[in-house]
Amino acid sequence: MILPMRALELRQLRYFLILSRELHFGKAANTAHVTQSALSQQIAKLEELAGVQLFVRDPRGVRLTAAGEVLRDGVARVLDLLYTTLRSTREAGENESFRLSLGLVEYTNLPFIPPALIRLQALYPDVNIIRHELNGAQQLDALVSGVIDVGFGVRIQTNSPKAGIASQPLLASEWSLLMRDTHRLANRAQLSIEDLAGERLIVPGRSVNAPLYDSLLAHFARVGIKPNIVYETTQSQVGITLVEQGLGVLLGAVYVFTVIPTTLLYRPVNGFDPLTVELFSRSGEQNPLVLDFIELAAGEAVRLKASQVPDTIARRD
C-alpha cells in the first residue's frame, strides 16, 4: 500500500522515531516536548495512513511490530538525510543571515524561553538573537513595523490584537506574594488584596510594564487600600534577594518565582486579574526560522506546565 503523501506530516515521522526509541509514550512525549495525548493522536494518524499497526500496546509495555521496525529503519535514514541536506543548504547560503528579533520584558524571567533558544541554536548554529525590552502593547506595534519577529507579553487591555497579528496563550499565572517562611501570612493557603494592607511591598517597577503597574494600583484603589510600596524593582532576582534580606514582600506572577531560596515561599493573592503570557507573531508568517522558534517555544511552555504543577502546589503547602 502506498502512503498518501499529501496527508503525511514530518512531525508524525519524528514522533514515531522518538517513540520507537523510547518505547514509552510518556517519555517520548517529554522528549518531543508535546503532551502525551498529542503524541498518541499523531501516532494513530500515522498508523491509519500506513494501513498497518506500528506498535503493540499491552500491560507489558510498548513494542514495535515487524512493520514498525521496517518503518523505523527507513524513517531514520530519511530524517538523517533530510537534516544533513538542510544543514548543507544553510551553509551554502553564504550571504544568508539567521537573525531572530524578540520582544519581551526581561523582568518576567519566562522559564520556557532559554530551553527554546538552546534548541533553536541546535537547528540554526549561526542564529543571532536580538532582544527588545517591550511590554505586550508595545510588541504589537513592533511586529507591525517589523522591528521584532516574535513577542512574549501580557496584554492588560481586553481589546483584540492588531490586524495581521496572531496570538496564542502560553502560560497562565495568578498573582502571588513571595515572603519569608516566618512571615505572619506564611501559614495562610490563600490571601486577598485586603491582607496586603500595611505590608511593605516590593513590586515590579512601572518602567517594566506601565499598563501592568497601573492595573495593579487600580485594583488596590477599588478595595480602598493605599499600598505601602517600599521598593520598585526592574530585576526579579533583585526583588527576591530583598525579600530574603527582610526588606519586605514581593508581589508578582508565579512564573517569576521559579527559582527561590528554600527560606522563602509564595502564596496566591485573590482579587487581581490573572496574568496570561501570550506569544505574538505576524499572521501568515513564512520565515522557517521564526516558525521553528514559535513551535519550540510553545512546546517548551507545554512541558513547563506539565512539569511544574507538583512544584507549584508544594510551594503553597
* Confidence (pLDDT) at 126: 81
What are the residues whose beta carbons fall under 8 Å from the beta carbon of 56, sequence distance 6 or more? 62, 63, 64, 65
- Angle, CA 236 vertex, CA 252 and CA 127 arms, to 5°: 115
Distance CA(198)–CA(115), nearest Å, equals: 40
Q: Return the H-helix or E-strand segment holding 19.
A: helix 10-22
Pairing of strands 228-233, 99-104: unpaired
Q: Where are the beta strands (DSSP E) in 125-243?
A: 128-133, 150-153, 165-173, 175-180, 191-192, 200-204, 228-233
Q: Which three cell numbers stand for residue 180?
A: 519569608
* Confidence (pLDDT) at 286: 87
5-92 and 99-170+278-307 in the same fold: no
Q: Return the H-helix or E-strand segment holding 25.
A: helix 25-32
Closest CA relative to residue 46, chosen from 86, 24, 78, 75: 75
CATH of 175-273, one of 3.30.70.20, 3.40.50.970, 2.60.40.420, 3.40.190.10: 3.40.190.10
* Confidence (pLDDT) at 108: 81
Q: Cell match 548543507: residue?
A: 88
* Confidence (pLDDT) at 310: 37
pTM comes to 0.65
Query: What CATH number has the domain spanning 5-92?
Result: 1.10.10.10
On whether the CB atoms of residues 288 and 171 are closer than 8 A, the answer is no
* Confidence (pLDDT) at 317: 45
What are the residues whose beta carbons fall under 8 Å from the beta carbon of 39, sequence distance 6 or more? 15, 19, 25, 28, 29, 32
- Domain borders along the chain are 5-92, 99-170+278-307, 175-273
C-alpha dist (Å) from residue 100 to 11, 147, 287, 316: 23, 10, 10, 37
pLDDT per 10-residue tile (average), the chain, 317 residues? 61 89 88 85 90 88 92 87 74 65 87 91 87 88 92 71 82 92 95 96 89 90 95 92 96 88 95 90 90 90 66 40
Looking at domain 99-170+278-307, its CATH class is: alpha beta
H-state helical runs in 33-134: 36-50, 66-92, 113-123
